[in-house]
């Protein structure tokens, strides 16, 4: 089975496999990570409030949105990563920046220790 290759595969698609009419509601639910039933319920409420607008928007989305590829993500972790990057890139990159700063601090402390006189003395004491 071919995996979809893109820099960020997390985008809005029509999900015809899990969809009822065109897969728009299922695609919206997949994109936002919420229940398909909830999206369909909101669509139904929208139909009660302004049917022509919802129907027109739904039909337009059927023609505009691409069909969802069979397999977008290689793993669940990859899917969670891309969802996080898509919805809050600033927090995702600040988290990565924090991890790299922490690793850099630890590496700096190790370098300081290994290059210190204390390390030399401990090594000389061990070799006696």
Would you state the pLDDT for residue 44?
93
Instruction: Tell which wins on pLDDT, 35 or 76.
Output: 35
Q: What are phi and psi of 103, to 5 degrees?
A: -65, -40
Is the confidence at residue 10, as pLDDT, over 70? no
Single pTM value for the model? 0.53
pLDDT digits 0-9 by tens, 26-49:
888 888 888 888 999 999 999 999
The average pLDDT across 51-68 equals 88
| β-bridge mates for residue 19, sequence order | none
> Which of the listed ranges 20-29, 50-59, 77-86 does the model predict with the highest average pLDDT?
50-59
97-103-104-108 Cα dihedral, nearest 10 degrees: 160
Would you state the pLDDT for residue 79?
67
């Amino acid at each position: 089975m071919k995996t979809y290759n893109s820099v960020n595969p997390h985008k809005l698609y029509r999900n015809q496999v899990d969809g009822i009419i065109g897969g728009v509601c299922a695609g919206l639910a997949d994109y936002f990570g919420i229940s398909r039933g909830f999206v369909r319920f909101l669509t139904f409420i929208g139909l009660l409030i302004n049917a022509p607008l919802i129907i027109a928007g739904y039909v337009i989305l059927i023609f505009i949105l691409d069909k969802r590829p069979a397999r977008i993500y290689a793993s669940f972790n990859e899917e969670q990563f891309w969802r996080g990057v898509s919805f809050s890139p600033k927090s995702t990159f600040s988290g990565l920046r924090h991890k790299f700063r922490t690793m850099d601090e630890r590496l700096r402390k190790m370098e300081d220790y290994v290059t210190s006189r204390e390390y030399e003395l401990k090594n000389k004491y061990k070799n006696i």
